[in-house]
Structure 1
Amino acid sequence: MPVEPETRVMDPDSAARDRVFVARPLLDVLLEFGSDTDPQRLSVALATEDARDLVPSAASTTSDVALADLDSDQSVYAEFFLPDAGRSVENVFGVNLSTPPGRTRGRFVTHPDGNPDLAATDDLSVRVLVATPPYDVENVRAYDRSGRRIELVVVAADAPDEEPL
């Protein structure tokens, strides 16, 4: 007697939890930073925007996912905070001005030694992108906080221009 295939009820958001969405221009800038700081390690805080708040990017490749293909509430890493911003105030007053609280749920780190695996010494976040030399998209891996490797999805999108204060 043939065995029936197992039927599973899938959580509709489970696929999104197993992927990291990152805007192409952001990833390109991060990889350039990684290359520029090599052989030193780099750790950069990343922030997300909902897909509805992004704009289509001209800087994309044929393998990038189109912004229009995402749900409007899909979180996409599209911004970063410079690792040295506000460092002098932090050194004097102990106040970290470089990363706004609650805005960063991701991190981009480099491993100049070429090891693409998440390390215990990495600054862990909800999602971590690990880049190794040569700093290109093929050498970036995504992980969740527990160290499980997840899919990296590059999106043809830009963060919106911010209004001047």
Structure 2
Amino acid sequence: MAYITRGLTTALLEFAEEAEPESFSAGLGTTPAREFESPLRCPPATPIFTHFYHPDAGRSVNAVFGMDFSTPAGRTEGRFVSHPQGELRVELTDDLHATMFVAVPPWELDQLAVFGRRGDRQPLEIIAAEPPVETL
């Protein structure tokens, strides 16, 4: 079972729609369920996908050094990819992660699915709770 906040799904689907006809891909980070203010119906250690790392952040630094410095190492437990002309499945050309969220047009919640590292579809629960506010 994968858990993701409603706010994150809304943002990702909007980015996918704006990027069309190109695909959109972003690393996803999690927050443990115990850190939410309101109690969730899952164990406290359950990772909830709550935020993403925008692929354009740090692009000029990446171009100079040839490495992605905008995403903290080991902080993306999953990845979101859109397939504007594709199918609702993981494709060999996707930047693979252990947990893959895939969306296809018309960019609605029922066109979003989650897959494991072998491309097998997983159950998905969308959480209607706000993640804790992070400080710098």
Instruction: Tell me which interval the TM-score lies in, with the shorter structure as reference length.
Output: over 0.9
- Which runs of 5 or more residues in structure 1 are unaligned? 1-18, 57-66
Aligned to 1:76: 48
Aligned to 1:41: 23
Q: 1:94 to 1:114 in 2, by over 3 A?
A: closer
**Cα deviation code 1:66-121 (max 9, x no counterpart):** x5212111111001000111110111123322210011010000000141111000
Distance 2:122 2:67 in 1: 33
Q: State whether structure 2 residue 112 is matched by structure 1 residue 130.
A: no
SS at match of 1:28: helix
TM-score by length of 1: 0.78
RMSD, matched Cα: 1.3
Deviation at 1:148, TM superposition (A): 0.7
Whichever of the two has the greater Rg, that structure is: 1
- Which runs of 5 or more residues in structure 2 are unaligned? none
1:112 to 69, 79, 84: 84
Aligned to 2:116: 144
SS at match of 2:40: helix
Deviation at 1:161, TM superposition (A): 1.4
TM-score by length of 2: 0.94
Distance 2:40 2:116 in 1: 25
Amino acid at match of 1:34: A
Deviation at 1:39, TM superposition (A): 0.9
After TM superposition, what 4+ stretches of structure 1 lie above 3 angstroms from structure 2?
A: none
SS at match of 1:112: coil
Distance 1:117 1:68 in 2: 28
- Counting aligned pairs with the same residue, the percent is 39
2:58 to 79, 86, 98: 86
